[in-house]
Chain A
Amino acid sequence: MKDVPAVNVDRGKIPFGERIYLGPILGGLRVTLRHFLRNVFGQRDVATIEYPEVKRQYSERLRGRHILTTNEQGEVRCVACYMCETACPADCITIVAEEDPTAAVDHEKRPLSFEIDLLRCVYCGYCVDACPKQAIIMSREHEMAFTTREEAVVGIDELRQKGPIDQEDLGYRPYF
């Protein structure tokens, strides 16, 4: 520890200029006055925003509520491989699989039910990383309110993408 480049920040005894209060207090007032005047008349770089009328623009990586993507036929792309369920650190995903009757080959799976407990979820994005089919991605929707705990457990119908994928409020997904 001897040769550590240290910088001493001690300030020692209070010098006379500080002991009489006035100088530093006026200096402080100048700082707050400068901020005040600049915000009222100047560039208005106010840090606060008038939420919820004004919202912050988040990046396209924001991890919000999940979306189950669909293929051209409008069916969810999920093949019920249980990768997201396994990767989930919060154990909030529950999948029940069934055989896919529409598939061209035998023994293809699809989810009979796919439930996410949005109150358990920690929005870490591990499910998106785990999915080999790009079937689960995340949106930027982060304001969710529920009146009961049961309501927070959402299934395929609530999670399925609503329209064309480029019209969703897309958040965290592969390549982002």
Chain B
Amino acid sequence: MTVSSTQSLTERHPLADAFPGDGVETIGNDADGHTVLAVDRSHLLEILRQLRDDDRFRCDFLSDICGVDYPDRQQRFDVVYHLANLDSGERYRVKVAVDEDDAVLPSAYGVWKAADWFEREVWDMFGVRFEGHPNLKRILTHEAFHGHPLRKDYDPGQRWLLTEKDIMTPEWAREEQLDDQHMESQVLNLGPSHPATHGTLRTVLRLEGENIVKAESEIGYLHRCFEKMSETHGWQQVIPYTDRLNYCSSMINGVGYALAVENMLGIEAPPRAQVVRVILSELSRIMDHAVCLGANLVDLGALTNFWYFFQIREEIYGLLESCAGGRLTVSYARIGGLAHDVPADFEEQVRRLLDYIPPFVADVDKLITRNRIFRDRTEGIGVLSPEEAVAWGWTGPCLRACGVPYDVRKAHPYMGYEQYEFDVPVATTGDTYARYLVRMEEIRQSLRIIRQAIDNLPGGPVITDDHHVALPPKEKVYTEMESLIWHFKLIFEGIKVPPGDAYHFTEGANGELGYYIVSDGSGTPYRIKVRPPCFALYQAYPHILEGLLVPDAIAILGSLNIIAGELDR
């Protein structure tokens, strides 16, 4: 079995002239209009540079690097680069194949800094080395782990004995360092269990006094093989797993995944399902921002706001529970729509929330926004310029705080976001204070969207009636033979997604949440790669820290909203 990895081969593709050499093997467009290039390894770096610098492409943004394993193919691995021109919105996908015996690629770190951790992940998961990478080591698994778990022939049942002395310690943190006055500089472990990391994140710091001179982050403490497990489960069964990605806004993950698969199937959820998805996604976004801001403010000593924000969160959880039956892990989206219709008093509950939330946001606004203690602690701290932020692959509120008005809901509207009137909050300073201001405004804008959505909530079904995709309604399963057969077939064989690959992305609470999906036409996904927005945010974190103080490290970490669930997957 081999999945075709190249799209329609067109000699006369309008962009074919841009690559006169023999580096580009094929060039074509996929169903979403993304340009797909298959590239020879020897020309990879020069083509990536051209894609960044050439005026025809201007791919300033590297969103993801992903490996795919085809054990039966002569060139076993595909490494897929997802690029974008944020101005024009055009998307590019560069694929390069490598042999198993000679799995080496030139590192793209010199082209986009965002390649840093994404390349480390491909090395960790597939064993493809990147020459010229500044710090190529394992990232999601332990230092002493054996093998590369996302290879198809890796047996997940294996156990490795990992001991404490194998814990990752960067070279520079091992030796003693003395300054001119023979004063030793300190190495400090911030995390993995630290009250201010809100998740198991570890950052090793080299301190001179209280100044951070060097930092390195270690992640993977919450790695639970989401991508490996999704390869052994049906398409529909992946949804409960997506809830655990960004667990502060689990609805958005499930919807993003469902949209990605629907896109490959060429179906659309009914209008009512779309609007309910928008409402619940925006409420989840409010919840996510509330948790992020609340926790960030607690770290800075402002506890009261945490209570006010958590009151909002509690009420939203109440609504989610009455719709889905779960508070944190909602599992409410389904491929083709929603698990079941919203309760009868849904509209009333949403309208109550629309009145309930704003006073709390206003209270926090009064407590914090004009408070000079907060401003002094956050202004000018953790600044990133717009160019740097894009180069690091930042998206979401953190990128918008740097002055780039990129929002997937506006740039590539999905789920009917083009019908709603809302503004994209942008700040220009790019510091921790700006990230706070952007998130506060986003809560208000989300409320605006929900208000418009609830006014135009259509009736009708909430899941498609295509029984190749969605289970038939229960009363028919109990009474009709045909429906029972559909029910059986769907449960036992799963949804058949047509072979091919696609990258679909939505605006998660933290930024661009992408799903790169490869299907071989069977009932289970061949490969699902999640592009978690936190991953790109967090890889810039150690670099931002250098030259700042330890308390600043806490303030910045909180404002980036790193959710270990989606970071480590």
Q: Residues on A close to B: CB < 8 A? A: 1-2, 4-11, 14, 17-19, 21, 23-25, 27-28, 30-32, 35, 47, 58-59, 61-63, 83, 86-87, 89-90, 122-126, 129-130, 132, 134, 138, 171-172, 174-176
Contacts and interface: CB of A to CB of B under 8 A. Distances in A.
Contact of B367 (A2, A31, A89, A122): A31
Interface string B467-486: 00001001001100000100
Contact of A122 (B240, B310, B474): B240
Interface stretch (B115-123, B186-194, B368-376): B368-376
B370 A24 contact: yes
A28 B478 contact: no
Kindly name the residue among B238, B438, B492 whose own CB sees the greatest number of chain A CB atoms within 10 A. Answer: B492
Contact of A123 (B326, B368, B434, B492): B326
Nearest to A22: B372
Interface in B60-90: 86-87, 89
Nearest to B410: A4
Nearest to B487: A132
Given A10-B429, A83-B488, A2 B375 contact: no
A1 B406 contact: yes
Contact of A5 (B310, B370, B423, B478): B423
Given A4-B424, A8-B426, A59-B322, 4 more contacts: A7-B426, A9-B440, A61-B322, A125-B339
Contact of B372 (A14, A62, A125, A171): A14
A6 B491 contact: no
Interface string B216-260: 000000000000000001101111110000000000000000000
Nearest to B241: A89
B424 A61 contact: no
Contacts of A35: 363
Interface of B: 86-87, 89, 233-234, 236-241, 304, 307, 310-311, 314, 321-326, 329, 331, 339-340, 343, 363, 366-373, 375, 404-407, 410-411, 422-429, 433-434, 437-438, 440-441, 445, 471, 474, 477-478, 484, 487-488, 491-492
A11 B87 CA distance: 26
Contacts of B428: 8, 10
B491 A27 contact: no
A28 B405 contact: no
A5 to B, nearest CB: 5
Contact of B369 (A11, A134, A171): A11
Contacts of A5: 410, 422-424
B339 A132 contact: no
Nearest to A34: B363
B364 to A, nearest CB: 9
Contact of B423 (A7, A19, A28): A7
A58 B404 CA distance: 42
A19 B373 CA distance: 10
A129 B372 contact: no
A125 B331 contact: yes
A7 B89 contact: no
Contact of B426 (A6, A21, A27, A134): A6
A1 B399 CA distance: 13
A27 B366 contact: yes
23 contacts: A1-B87, A1-B89, A4-B405, A9-B434, A9-B438, A10-B437, A14-B375, A19-B372, A21-B372, A24-B366, A24-B370, A59-B343, A61-B324, A61-B343, A86-B492, A87-B491, A89-B238, A125-B339, A126-B331, A130-B491, A132-B477, A172-B325, A176-B340
A31 B477 contact: no
A123 B373 CA distance: 45
A109 B326 CA distance: 33
Given A58-B321, A175-B474, A6 B367 contact: no
A11 B441 CA distance: 12
Nearest to A9: B437
B427 A9 contact: yes
A86 to B, nearest CB: 6
B424 A6 contact: yes
Main SS of the interface on chain A?
Answer: loop
B339 A129 contact: yes
A126 B237 contact: yes
Contact of A1 (B326, B367, B411, B440): B411
Contacts of A123: 326, 329
Contact of A126 (B240, B404, B410): B240
Given A7-B441, A89-B240, A124 B424 contact: no
Nearest to A10: B427
7 nearest A-B residue pairs (beta carbon): A61-B325, A59-B322, A24-B370, A7-B423, A124-B240, A89-B237, A6-B405
A83 B477 CA distance: 13
Contacts of A14: 372, 375
Contacts of A124: 239-240, 326, 329, 331
Contacts of A86: 491-492
A83 to B, nearest CB: 5
Given A1-B87, A87-B237, A11 B437 contact: yes
A1 B484 CA distance: 49
B86 A1 contact: yes
Contacts of A28: 366-368, 371
Nearest to B314: A47
Kindly name the residue among A2, A7, A58, A63 whose own CB sees the greatest number of chain B CB atoms within 10 A. Answer: A7
A7 B370 contact: no
Nearest to A32: B304
Contacts of B424: 4-7
Contacts of B363: 31, 35
Kindly name the residue among A124, A134, A171 whose own CB sees the greatest number of chain B CB atoms within 10 A. Answer: A124
Nearest to A12: B429
A59 B321 contact: yes
Contact of B325 (A63, A132, A175): A63
A31 B308 CA distance: 11
A134 B478 contact: yes
Kindly name the residue among B86, B410, B411 whose own CB sees the greatest number of chain A CB atoms within 10 A. Answer: B410
Kindly name the residue among A61, A171, A174 whose own CB sees the greatest number of chain B CB atoms within 10 A. Answer: A61
